[in-house]
Amino acid sequence: MATLSAEAKSLIAEIHPGLVATASKTGQPNVSAKGTFRVLDDEHVLFADVNSPRTMANLAENPQVSVLILDPATRRGCRLWGKTGSILDSGDLFDQVSSQLAPRQIQPKHVVVISVEKSVVF
């Protein structure tokens, strides 16, 4: 696993949405914008599955994920590569994320935790 730099964490916190790329077991790609993308800790990020059937189907077949965080105005951002660590539909972390999203009237179906294997800030 890779440790996220302070700069990468800052960019992830400031720039929304994050673009999450997945692929099916046959290689069919999918890219989905995630306004719920955030840092969990030094080695993990997460997003809430609100209504992402293709992303979730791909992750069930292939845990590989790539993420792009990009501010188009400044062209600053970061890219992450990793694997799905867990997909939660209950528990403390799921409840915490659900509570944070409730004021925005968002109810997640799942919380997806990604183990970061590599990150690059640009």
Residue 105: CB atoms within 10 A of its CB come to 6
Residue 31 binned pLDDT confidence (cut-offs 50, 70, 90): very high
| pLDDT mean across residues, the chain | 97
Quick check: 84 and 28 in contact, CB under 8 A?
no
Q: Domains for the chain: give ranges and CATH numbers.
A: 6-121 (2.30.110.10)
Mean pLDDT value across residues 75-94: 98
| CA separation for the pair 115, 122 (Å, rounded) | 20
1 pLDDT above the threshold of 90: no
Burial of 12 (0-12, 13-18, 19+ CB in 10 A): buried
Residue 78 binned pLDDT confidence (cut-offs 50, 70, 90): very high
The residue whose two tokens read 């990793």 is 82
Per-residue pLDDT reduced to its tens digit, 35-73: 999 999 999 999 999 999 999 999 999 999 999 999 999
Residue 90 binned pLDDT confidence (cut-offs 50, 70, 90): very high
